[in-house]
Amino acid sequence: MSVYIAARTTVTDKEKYENEFLPAVMKVHEAHGGKIIAAGYIQYLVGAPAEDGARVTIIECPDEAHARALFEEVKPLMAAMQCTTNPRISIVPGIPVAAAAAAE
């Protein structure tokens, strides 16, 4: 069953993030079967406004093992690039297709 990585970070160097970090990370996603299903700068509906550069990315992975392997390979890139701060990265389980259909 699919699992999702929910990554919330603050981009501190937009040019480096977009031109160096994202291309490198996309290769890692592809190598581990990850697929970005949503990404962008945050606009909260409730609560205090997000700080400048606050961004969320949701990545679909085939299973938890792939998600964890993907993250382990991304960690050194995050440290080396130093274009984001305040990462909050979670694994979120998917729901079975039958359960999703029943909820509709």
Contact 70, 102 (CB under 8 A): no
Taking alpha carbons only, the member of 26, 38, 16, 20 closest to residue 70 is 26
Position 22 pLDDT exceeds 60: yes
CA distances to 87, 88, 102 from 11, rounded to whole Å, are 10, 13, 38
37-92 tens-digit pLDDT? 999 999 889 998 888 899 999 999 999 999 999 999 999 998 998 998 888 999 99
Whether the per-residue pLDDT at 101 is higher than 70: the answer is no
> pLDDT value at position 51?
86
List the structure tokens of 58: 């949701």
Residue 8: pLDDT band with limits 50, 70, 90 = very high
Angle between helices 22-31 and 64-81 (to 10 degrees): 160
pLDDT > 80? residue 103:
no
Over 70: is that where the pLDDT of 99 sits? no
**Structural domains present in the chain:** 3-93 (3.30.70.100)
Report which of residues 101 and 44 the model is more confident about. Answer: 44
Of 35, 10, 31, 29, the residue nearest 94 (C-alpha)? 35
Please give the residue that has the higher pLDDT: either 99 or 64. Answer: 64
